[in-house]
Amino acid sequence: MIVVMKPKATARQISDVINRVQADGYRAHLSEGEQHTIIGVVGESPTPLREENYSVMEGVEKVMRVSVPYKLASRHFHPADTLVPLNGALMGGQKVLVIAGPCSVESRDQIIELACAVKEAGATALRGGAFKPRTSPYSFQGYGEKALQWLAEARERTGLPVVTEVMDAALVPLVCQYADVLQIGARNMQNFTLLNAAGESQHTILLKRGMSSTVEDLLMSAEYILAQGNKRVMVCERGIRTFEKATRNTFDVNAIPVLKAATHLPVVADPSHAVGLWEYVEPIARSAVAAGADGLIVEVHARPEEAVSDGRQSLKPDRFKAMMEQVRRVAEAVGRTA
């Protein structure tokens, strides 16, 4: 349930509603918009919530039941867009922000070379995997902490914040020491222990959609992080499994406007994993921005033929630069910048 206060509701009237929520055994979450203060009521209690008891309170404009199971992630609770700071810019704001870099961090020189290249092309943040979630236990698993150190060095050189995946709750403190943004990968989207640890860290989180998860599942996972009081969450569409075999996954372009309507959180698209073939990354990136994505995360590699993972979907730096130009033009066509 949400309680929408009148535009002129006083601080006293707001605190009376919060006290009533707590007396009924629920948690109150405050969202202060330009016009209205909204009080979200979450949790479980033996006391039933009676809308009429709240709607008669002073300063209350209306009381609404929220039928979706996610609450803190929902736009009903928080109508204004959440803006997540990234490198002096805001993910979710007017500018479409691009995170770019290799699938895996392969060496110190590799990540520094790529950080310089993607920065030059206009990227806002650097990606690179130190802990890799591989389908096969025999595939390259990542250089772990050594790779985190190389990423931190690349940040020092370029000023680009670092986005990297954390696969295990126990590793959250270590990855937080080096990363600016913790990525939770598709395969871990419903690792609830990890989601709680990521929430508790209060670090910025990039939460990727599971390959067989619905939009609602994704937002329920975001809810875990938000429920820990961590509001800096971005959600990411990265392609889903379908019957189609021509591409690695199927980019669910529908999910972009659906997510933008359902949640206030910034929506990022990953055209690289969505399509899996470098030659289609640019058109999928364009479609994501045209559909309203706030940001992109793109794999770039100087020598894809030598990449230890995802070379087939990695753009060379010059192609990434060309993609950025196309993305800029599409962003402008939909009233944004890039």
Q: Which is nearer to ligand PEP, 155 or 273 (CB)?
A: 273
Q: State in angstroms the smallest separation of the CB of 272 from Mn ion.
A: 7
Interface mask (CB under 6 A) for ligand PEP, residues 83-122, using x and -? Answer: --------------------x-------------------
Does 185 sit near ligand PEP (CB under 6 A)? yes
Q: State in angstroms the smallest separation of the CB of 133 from ligand PEP.
A: 5
Burial class (CB in 10 A: 0-12, 13-18, 19+), 326: middle
Q: Could you say which of Mn ion, ligand PEP, none residue 182 binds, taking C-beta under 5 to 8 angstroms by partner kind?
A: none
Q: Which is nearer to ligand PEP, 39 or 233 (CB)?
A: 233
Residue 270 backbone dihedrals phi, psi, to 5 degrees: -115, 90
Give the span between the Cα atoms of 107 and 210, in whole angstroms. 28
Does 273 sit near ligand PEP (CB under 6 A)? yes
Q: Note whether 148 and 178 are within 8 A (CB).
A: yes
The DSSP line for 274-325 is HH--HHHHHHHHHHHHHTT-SEEEEEB-S-GGG-SS-GGGPBPHHHHHHHHH
Helices (H), 235-277: 255-262, 271-275
Which window, 45-53, 83-91, 148-156, 184-192, contacts ligand PEP (CB under 6 A)? Answer: 184-192
Residue closest to Mn ion (Cβ): 103
Q: Which is nearer to ligand PEP, 129 or 161 (CB)?
A: 129
Which window, 167-175, 180-188, 225-233, 312-320, contacts ligand PEP (CB under 6 A)? Answer: 180-188
CA distances from 229 to 28, 101, 196, 263 (A): 12, 30, 10, 16
The one among 76, 78, 203, 238 contacting ligand PEP by CB under 6 A:
238
Does 248 sit near ligand PEP (CB under 6 A)? no
Binding site for Mn ion (CB under 5 A): 103, 310
Does 133 sit near ligand PEP (CB under 6 A)? yes
Residues that bind ligand PEP (CB under 6 A): 103, 129, 133, 185-187, 208, 238, 270, 273
